[in-house]
């Protein structure tokens, strides 16, 4: 796994998170190829589209936990690559806490930066009693973050930005 790579565009946090979970290093060309392939697939969900492209290209398996029942039901209508499962589950603090790391989490980046509200993907690498060790593709580094900040970032994504929280597990 590679956790020292900084995303090269403002839109490639998820491709970088996905690629970082592979057992190999990757290049900016692979990052962009995955992004370009992904955006052509499912226009109603950037995340499902990127994960679908990743699963196909790298013969991986993935499960996306979708917080909103109606959005999950809507996404289930799309034909997805074999190896990609969509599961409906509320992305609560308790749900986040019991997931074995690593996994990808959709958040509002404002909670980490206090600059601008924007959806962002991070990788949860370790779960300690009061903090998470995360990989943040925006800065290309790992860092320790208080659990309360991560929980707040998911809530802000849901309630302020009105995006559906997602938790993504990948098995290369």
pLDDT tens digits for range 117-164: 999 999 999 999 999 999 999 999 999 999 999 999 999 999 999 999
How many Å apart are CA 136 and CA 128, to the nearest integer?
Answer: 17
Residue 83: inside a domain, yes or no? yes
pTM: predicted TM-score of the whole model, two decimal places: 0.96
How many domains does one find in the chain?
A: 1
CATH number, domain containing residue 121: 3.90.70.10
- Residue 53 belongs to some domain of the structure: yes
Query: Is 31 within a domain?
Result: yes
In a domain, 8, yes or no: no
In a domain, 140, yes or no: yes
Closest CA to 150 of 137, 135, 132: 132
Residue scoring higher pLDDT (104 or 2): 104
Model pLDDT for residues 27-69, shown as the tens digit of each residue:
999 999 999 999 998 888 999 999 999 999 999 999 999 999 9
Q: Are 127 and 101 in contact (CB under 8 A)?
A: yes
Assess if residue 1 is contained within a domain.
no
Residue 111's domain comprises 13-171
Residue 90 CA to residue 78 CA, distance in Å, equals 21
Residue 110 lies in a domain: yes
């Amino acid at each position: 796994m590679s956790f020292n790579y900084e995303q090269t565009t403002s839109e490639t946090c998820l491709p970088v998170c996905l690629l970082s979970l592979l057992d190999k290093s990757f290049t900016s060309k692979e990052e962009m190829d995955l992004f370009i392939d992904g955006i052509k697939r499912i226009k109603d969900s950037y995340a499902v589209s990127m994960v679908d492209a990743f699963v196909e290209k790298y013969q991986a398996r993935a499960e996306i936990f979708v917080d909103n029942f109606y959005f999950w039901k809507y996404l289930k209508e799309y034909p997805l690559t074999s190896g990609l499962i969509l599961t409906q589950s509320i992305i609560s603090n308790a749900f986040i806490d019991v997931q074995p790391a690593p996994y990808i989490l959709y958040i509002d980046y404002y909670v980490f930066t206090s600059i601008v509200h924007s959806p962002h993907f991070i990788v949860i690498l370790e779960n300690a009693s009061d903090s998470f060790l995360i990989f943040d593709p925006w800065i290309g580094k790992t860092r320790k973050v208080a659990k309360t900040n991560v929980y707040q970032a998911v809530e802000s994504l849901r309630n302020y930005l009105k995006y559906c929280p997602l938790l993504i597990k990948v098995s290369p």
